[in-house]
Amino acid sequence: MNLKELSRHLGLSQSTVSRALNGYRDVSADTRERVLEAARRFGYSPNVNAHRLATGQSGAIGIVFPSGNDPLLDPLFTDFLSGLTNSAARRQMDVLVSASFDSAEASYRRLAQRRSVDAVVLSGPLVADPRVSLLDKLDIPYVVHGRTRAPHPYAFLDIDNEGAFRQAAELLIGLGHRRIGLVNGDLRQSFAVDREAGWRSALLAAGLVAPDALNDSDVMTDEAGYRLTAGMLSSETPPTAVICSSIFSAMGACRAIRDRGLAIGSDISVIAHDDGISSIRPETHNPPLTTTFSSIHKAGERIAEMVADLLGGKAASASQEVWPVDLIFRDSTRPPARA
């Protein structure tokens, strides 16, 4: 069933039926009624490809995968994507996932040239991210999940990474810790830089030093978490507490602590950032982990809305959000052993 058939059934022109379907106001109330009723009865739904060709809009949000087997391609992405997709669907938008099998740049160019998407979401932004200027040049609207350096206002949704890690460090300082390690993510990524800044500022504000030996970063895997933490624990001034940038690195950190015969909480305090994925929950651990928490799923949902608003004409400068992060106190943070 297509428009032509539907309008024939109704004895109306395609124009009128189209307008009724698309909610234009210059259609009489009962015509609209009849049309909608018939569309429902016949199970009519418009051919998206025709719609797109006619309007020049694709009705899709694009997102480009980090290349190949990049470990930055982490499991959190599933939750983000699920939020994005759900929320996009409510606004009749699709989500198009594009591979960067050659290069991310080529992928964006393809998306732009072929007009496959109306807008793009940029995840995992680097501190200085070449994709931003590319998207500017390609003139394709975008929303950044996180923040980056840009020469002009741009739409973004970020969490308060700096504030979260400052608070986490402050909590530990309040408990009496003096040597607080940071097991951070890859420092090319903005959030990692912000978290380091938060950690550092709390330490400095308390009159402590922020030594390089207690500040390390790598991909946020269990393995790297183990390695970085083990390194700190065997240094000359081992930490009495560590703050981890992800639940995966925290798993590794906990292993490293236990492998050294130490107990989490009573010997070494641990705080992890928790994005709220369901496969690993910090509250079910032993001891339950203190976390900085922000749902990455919700971020995905919100970003689809922001994309829709942007396409609806909202200014990028008015589409900027920084979400506060919850600090959830559990049993993995205690006063240091010999405080």
Give 98 or 240: the residue with its C-beta nearer to a copy of itself. 98
- Token readout for 263 is 């107990």
Q: Is 286 in the site for DNA (CB under 7 A)?
A: no
From DNA, a copy of itself, none, interface partner of 88 (C-beta below 5 to 8 A by class): a copy of itself
Q: Smallest Cα–Cα separation from 122: which of 93, 89, 148?
A: 148
E strands, the chain, in order: 60-64, 94-98, 119-123, 142-145, 155-159, 180-184, 215-217, 241-244, 269-274, 290-293, 320-323, 326-328
Binding residues among 43-62 for a copy of itself as defined by CB under 8 A: 43, 45-50, 52-53, 58, 60
DSSP 264: B
Helix and strand element counts for the chain (H, E): 12, 12
Instruction: Using DSSP, state whether 105 is helix, strand or coil.
Output: helix
- Range in contact with DNA (rule: CB under 7 A) among 5-13, 129-137, 212-220, 272-280: 5-13
Binding residues among 55-94 for DNA as defined by CB under 7 A: 55-56
Contact letters for DNA, residues 178-207 (x by CB under 7 A) = ------------------------------
What backbone torsions phi and psi does residue 337 show, to the nearest 5 degrees? -50, -50
Q: Which of 50, 128, 209, 318 binds DNA (CB under 7 A)?
A: 50
Q: Distance between CA 33 and CA 48 in Å, rounded?
A: 23
DSSP 117: -
Residues in touch with DNA (CB under 7 A): 2-4, 11-16, 18-19, 21-22, 25-29, 31, 44, 46-47, 50-51, 53-56
Residues in touch with a copy of itself (CB under 8 A): 43, 45-50, 52-53, 58, 60, 65, 68-69, 71, 73-79, 81-82, 85-90, 94-99, 101, 107, 110, 113-116, 219-223, 226, 248, 251, 255, 258-259, 277-281, 284-286, 297
